[in-house]
Structure 1
Amino acid sequence: MLKIQEIREIIKLVDHSSVDEFSYEHEGSKIKLKKKSGVAFIEEQPKASVHTVAKPETQAVQQAPQPEPTTRSVEVTETPAVTKTEDNADLHKIVSPMVGTFYQSPSPDAGAYVKVGSKVNTESVVCIVEAMKLFNEIEAEVNGEIVEILVKDGQLVEYGQPLFLVKP
């Protein structure tokens, strides 16, 4: 059975991705999320409880403390991705190889891997993308200089989303 925090993480990942429908079944529990309808239904069948998750515009959690099956409402906001309005043809884009959370540094108290103006080579680690509690180091894969950082620290990123612009 999934914990409420795990369900919230799944909702966030689906909400900030291009996936319109998501289904998951494990040991009698079933989760089905649909973005287009505006409402996602989560069914957990071992204890015959049903949870309904609504997707309005602000982020808040309301829980009714009842011992019998409950209805929980989770409101989620979508934050628009930071994008560059004009692309330079001579700049290389370092893109996210997966859906996850972007981190500029190896830990909250450490400095960023790279900043605008930093020189990188093909094996330089430029950031971390965390997906399902796994921290994946992303390498530059090109020699050059960081010209622009396109996402903010802690922002959810999608597969193929540009993260950095590098002048080769």
Structure 2
Amino acid sequence: MNYDEVKEMVALFNQSGNQEMQLETSDIKLYLNKRGVQDVQHAPVAPSVPPTTSMTSMPTESTEAPMAVADDTIAIEAPLVGSIYLQPAPADPAFVKVGQTVAVGDVVCVIEAMKMMTEVKSTVAGTITEILVQNEELVEYQQPLFKVKEG
């Protein structure tokens, strides 16, 4: 794993709703935590591998309101870049469908980035009026995923 891959992983972690992540490969051991510094025990890896360090990142709270779309709906946006899954498993029904009522915090989809699954939760209470993406589509950071009519 090279520096750019680690840098990208840290950026994706910072944008995700995950609070903690640990990755171990044959050449790197990475620990990320948004809850603050914790005492981390480092197990020896291989003798040829240099000692590892842990990276700690502080949470970044978004103070922005949900994005208002041109009409009277509000968009639920992608919190990170990755592949979107609109259902928990291929044979399962979708998390949400048009016409369904959602509350703040309801899971509306999952985004996979670098083998990490991140639940995307509704930022607004209301009714889903439109699904703007297709299952397994690659989505961008802050891309509108769903339109929700408040209420």
- TM (norm. structure 1) is 0.48
Larger Rg, first or second structure (1 or 2):
1
Measured on the aligned residues, the alpha-carbon RMSD in Å equals 1.8
- TM (norm. structure 2) is 0.53
- Aligned counterpart for 2:117 among listed residues 116, 135, 153: 135
Summarize the alignment of residues 68-79 of structure 1 with structure 2, pairs less than 5 Å apart. none
Matched AA of 1:100: G
Matched AA of 1:130: E
Cα distance, 1:88 vs structure 2: 3.1
- Deviation string 1:64-101 (CA, Å, 9 cap, x unpaired) is xxxxxxxxxxxxxxxxxxxxxxx533211000010000
- Aligned counterpart for 2:135 among listed residues 141, 153, 156: 153
Matched AA of 1:111: P
Aligned equivalent of 1:4: none
Cα distance, 1:109 vs structure 2: 1.0
Matched, 1:103 2:110: no
Cα distance, 1:141 vs structure 2: 1.5
Which runs of 5 or more residues in structure 1 are unaligned? Answer: 1-21, 26-86
Summarize the alignment of residues 53-64 of structure 1 with structure 2, pairs less than 5 Å apart. none
**Percent of pairs with identical residues:** 45
Matched AA of 1:95: E
> How many pairs are equivalent?
86
Question: What SS does the corresponding residue of 2:112 show, helix, strand or coil?
Answer: strand
Matched, 1:115 2:74: no
Matched AA of 1:103: Y
Matched, 1:88 2:67: no
Aligned equivalent of 2:51: none
